[in-house]
Amino acid sequence: MRNVLFVCTANSARSVLGEALLRHKGEGRFQTYSAGSTPRGTVNPDALTCLQRHGLPTEGFRSKSWDEFSEAGGPEMDLIITVCDSAAGEVCPVWLGHPMVVHWGIPDPASAEGDNEKRGAAFDFAYEHLSRRIDALLELGDGIFSASDGRAQVNAIGQIQD
């Protein structure tokens, strides 16, 4: 089983969606996590509503610091995916082991303003983009973790737009 960590700044929206999607689509092949560089402390309710709308479980998610995954005793990651541009540009902690670190920038749905419909559309946009990228990751298979160009291939998935 591979350990995958999705990282964004607040760990309240995009990283939570990524964690839920890979857990669901990976069908037991991945232990998934999410964290933030400066966690908000709570998961955005619109993120949970989005997961519900798409039939995914919403239990157990919490906004937490990436320090939980960089300190001794934490799980060693095989793959770390930053999903927001600001987190990708921050100085990351020293991760346990030697994980592959890639960036898949997704616009922040939590910044959407307006009624439930407008906010829901922003979260669905992020969800669909992450879903397509996770499908592409799964198509690469487990060999990607030992391929000489594995990081480049997984990083390129972050360019998938439609």
Q: Kindly tell me if the per-residue pLDDT of 83 is higher than 70.
A: yes
The domain in which residue 44 lies consists of 2-159
Mean per-residue pLDDT over the chain, rounded:
91
| pLDDT (0 to 100) of residue 96 | 73
Dump pLDDT digits (tens) for 107-156. Answer: 999 999 999 999 999 999 999 999 999 999 999 999 999 999 999 999 99
| Number of domains making up the chain | 1
| pLDDT (0 to 100) of residue 89 | 55
CATH of the domain at 78: 3.40.50.2300
Q: Kindly tell me if the per-residue pLDDT of 56 is higher than 60.
A: yes
| pLDDT (0 to 100) of residue 90 | 57
Q: What are the strands, taking DSSP E only, across the chain?
A: 2-8, 30-36, 79-82, 100-103
The model's pTM: 0.93
Q: Kindly tell me if the per-residue pLDDT of 91 is higher than 70.
A: no
Residue type, 127: Y
Q: What are phi and psi of 107, to 5 degrees?
A: -55, 145
Q: How confident is the model at residue 71 (pLDDT cuts 50, 70, 90)?
A: confident
Residues sharing a CB contact under 8 Å with residue 137, sequence separation 6 or more, in sequence order = 22, 144, 154, 157
